[in-house]
Amino acid sequence: MTGTAQGTTTPGESEASRPAPAPSPPDAMLPHPWRVCRAVKETSDTFTLELVPEPGAPVTPFAPGQFNMLHVPAVGEVPISISGDPAYPHTLIHTTRVVGAVTKAMGSLRRGDALGVRGPFGTAWPVQEAEGNDVLFVTGGIGLAPLRPALYQVLSRRDRYGRVVLLYGARTPEDILFRRQLREWRADFDLEVHVTVDRATGDWRGNVGIVTTLIPRVPFDPYNTVAMICGPEVMIRFTAMELERRGVDAEHAYVSLERNMKCAIGLCGHCQIGPYFVCKDGPVFPYAKVAELMKIREV
Ligand SMILES: Cc1cc2nc3c(=O)[nH]c(=O)nc-3n(C[C@H](O)[C@H](O)[C@H](O)COP(=O)(O)OP(=O)(O)OC[C@H]3O[C@@H](n4cnc5c(N)ncnc54)[C@H](O)[C@@H]3O)c2cc1C
Ligand code: FES
């Protein structure tokens, strides 16, 4: 390993890759006040908010893969994964794509604006379990944001892993997230990064095509690999299937699922998929656990 990561974790931080126990009701239903300290426009439709706690708001350690419920006063509340470094829970970072009313309102927040935070909720990427293995991150679009905390942790203990590879698909070159950081990580941490776009624009001379087309180009030991996959559901399914074809056990491929959510603590049933509540049993699942359920939903 060479170089030093921005936001490197400190010794003894391994607890951070275990999910924080979800707050229990009624506390879990109560948004706490946080304030925007920085708002960054990432792409034409995606932005990052950095939040700091208002006096009295609890700061809870979070694990990579967990999400918060973000409440925009007078508009509504949405689940958004944490995209920042788990070593720094005092600043909550979320990266969001505008799709509807709440995400649009969040996108217009500026430094000093307030919003409510409940969480963190859900299961984590298997960062510790992956030690000693090759790690393959596969992501499409905004899916890079929920994976970024796992990348921070893996790269902060780079010597504990074999080959670390990120395969990333974006719609166009202009939609590539965290460009500068990916360049730095590639240079400093022996992170192998392969990017592809659906549609080449400008002077793009890189790969064109869906992210699964990158898989055969990457040498990894399928019997000694942990995969973490995040993106649109159809991309997750095809990626997991391709990895299985290459010999990666479905128990070693982890996926993050999205469902509509209300309570985020397993009470309302909005996020149910088969016997599981995505808010509580997920969002991160071993693919083996949800593969059949994901097929049924798409029929
Ligand atoms: C556990 C979890 C983690 C999430 N993490 C992130 C994250 O890190 N960043 C992020 O940008 N989003 C994330 N999402 C998705 C985010 O919660 C939704 O985009 C948001 O709830 C939409 O709310 P809205 O009021 O803006 O739009 P709505 O009015 O609810 O929806 C507007 C339109 O967008 C469609 N839509 C809703 N959700 C999605 C979606 N996920 N993808 C595509 N179209 C959608 C709806 O069908 C509708 O047509 C996550 C969802 C879950 C369940
Ligand atoms: S959101 Fe209520 S049960 Fe999951």
pLDDT tens track for 205-216: 999 999 999 999
pLDDT of residue 79: 98
The pLDDT value recorded for residue 76 is: 97
Residue 64, both tokens: 């990579």
d(CA 71, CA 88): 21
pLDDT at residue 128 is higher than 70 = yes
Residue 79 CA: nearest ligand 1 atom is: 17
270 φ, ψ (degrees, to nearest 5): -60, -30
CA distances from 291 to 45, 143, 160, 219 (A): 30, 19, 29, 25
pLDDT tens digits for range 227-238: 999 999 999 999
How far apart are alpha carbons 208 and 58 in whole angstroms? 45
Nearest-5° angle of CA 209, CA 94, CA 206? 20
What is residue 298's predicted lDDT score, i.e. its pLDDT? 46
Q: What is the pLDDT of residue 219?
A: 86
pLDDT(167) > 70: yes
| Beta carbons of 76 and 101 less than 8 angstroms apart | yes
**Ligand number nearest to the C-alpha of 121:** 1
Whole-number pLDDT of residue 9: 34
Cβ neighbours of 288 (radius 10 Å): 15
Structural contact between residues 149 and 95, judged by C-beta atoms closer than 8 angstroms: no
Distance from C-alpha of 50 to C-alpha of 26, rounded to nearest angstrom: 26
E strands present in 175-273:
191-197, 207-208, 225-230, 253-256, 272-273
pLDDT digits (tens, 9 = 90+) for 79-92: 999 999 999 999 99
Q: 158 Cβ partners below 8 Å, 6+ apart?
A: 1, 164, 189, 190
Q: What token pair was written down for 101? A: 């009313």
Ligand 2: residue whose CA is nearest its atom 3: 266
Atom of ligand 2 at shortest range from CA of 79: 1
> Confidence class of residue 17 from pLDDT cuts 50, 70 and 90?
low
Mean per-residue pLDDT for 242-265? Answer: 95
The closest alpha carbon to 222, from 161, 136, 150, belongs to 136
How many angstroms is it from 273 CA to the middle of ligand 2? Answer: 11
Residue 24 confidence (pLDDT): 67
Q: Which SS3 state, helix, strand or coil, does residue 223 take? A: helix
Mean of the pLDDT values across residues 267-290?
96
